Structure 1
Amino acid sequence: MTPAKAQVAVSVNLNIQPDWGPSGYDYVEYYYLPEIDVYFDVVNKRYVYWENNAWVHKSKLPSRYANVDMNKTYKVVMNNKNPWNSHASDKAKYSKYAKDRSQVSIKDKKKNTKKSKKK
C-alpha cells in the first residue's frame, strides 16, 4: 500500500485588491456590484459593464456612476472567468443587495484594526 499524496495549491492576491473591496477574502478575481450592475476585474483593475450592446472593459467608470461610494456599495466576490456570461443570473440573484451597506471594506477593516491596537 502506498501512502496517499495530497497537493494543495493556495492562491492569495490580497495585496492587489482595492481598499474599497470587501474584507475577509484572500483571493478574488472579480467583484459584482449589484447597485450599479457592474463587474470589477481585480487582477487587471478594470470595470466591466454593458454599453452599446457589448461588455466593455474600462479602467474608469462612466460619469453616471460618479455618486457611488465604492467603500459602501455591496460587492459580491466571483472567482470564475468572465462572470458577465452569467449576468442575468447574477442580477436576479444579487439585486437584493443593491442598497445593502453592511459590508466592511478592506479600508474600514484596516482602520478598525489600527484603532483596536492603540487601546
Structure 2
Amino acid sequence: MKKIFICFALCLLAAFFKPASAQFSTNENIKDQPKWGLAGQKYVEYYYLPDIDTYYYVPGKQFIYQSGGYWTFSSRLSKANRSYDLRGGNKVVINEPGAYRYFAEHKSKYGSSSSNVAVQKSQTDKNIKRQDSEKTSG
C-alpha cells in the first residue's frame, strides 16, 4: 500500500511539474536575417528596399512588391528587379507589423535616401530611434 501511495504521489507531482524557463524572452532573429542585411541588427521584421520599392519580410523569408496594383509575396525578387544588388543597395529596417501597408509613408521618408537607415519603431509611433549607417561598397 505504501508503494502505491508513493507512486501516486510521484505521478501527481509529475503532472504539475513545469520545466524551468527563462524569466525574460529575447526578441532576436539574427540567424533568420539574410546575408545581405544590415550588420548589427538583433531583430528585423522588414527590410524596405527604397531603390526598388520592395520589402523583405524576414520571418517569412519573402519579398513583397506591387504587381498589377496588388501586393505580391515571393521568395524571389520580381523579374524586373532580379539583377538588383541586394548587398550594395539601400536598406531600411522597419519593425512594425504589415510594414508594406505604410508604403506611401515609407516611400516619402526613405525613397531618396542615399544611405542605409536602421529604424526601430516602438508600439506607438511617438518613439522612433534613428541610426544612420554608412553605405558600404563591395
Which TM-score band applies after superposition, normalised by the shorter structure?
0.7 to 0.9
Q: Which runs of 4+ in 1 moved over 4 A?
A: none
Q: For the Cα contact (< 8 Å) 1:47–1:61, is it kept in 2?
A: yes
How far the C-alpha of 1:53 sits from its partner, in A, is 1.2
| Structure with larger RCO (C-alpha < 8 A, sep 6+) | 1
Q: Distance in 1 between matches of 2:100 and 2:40?
A: 23
Matches within 5 A, 1:1-119: 8-97=24-113, 99-100=114-115, 102-104=134-136
Q: CA RMSD in A?
A: 2.0
Percent identity of the aligned residues?
Answer: 34
Where does structure 1 lack aligned partners over 5 or more consecutive residues? 1-6, 109-119
Moved more, 53-62 or 33-42: 53-62
TM-score normalized by the length of structure 2: 0.65
Where does structure 2 lack aligned partners over 5 or more consecutive residues? 1-22, 117-133
Give secondary structure in 2 for the equivalent of 1:47: strand
Structure showing greater Rg = 2
Give secondary structure in 1 for the equivalent of 2:56: strand
Q: For the Cα contact (< 8 Å) 2:65–2:78, is it kept in 1?
A: no
TM-score normalized by the length of structure 1: 0.75
Comparing both structures, which one devotes a greater share of its residues to helix?
1
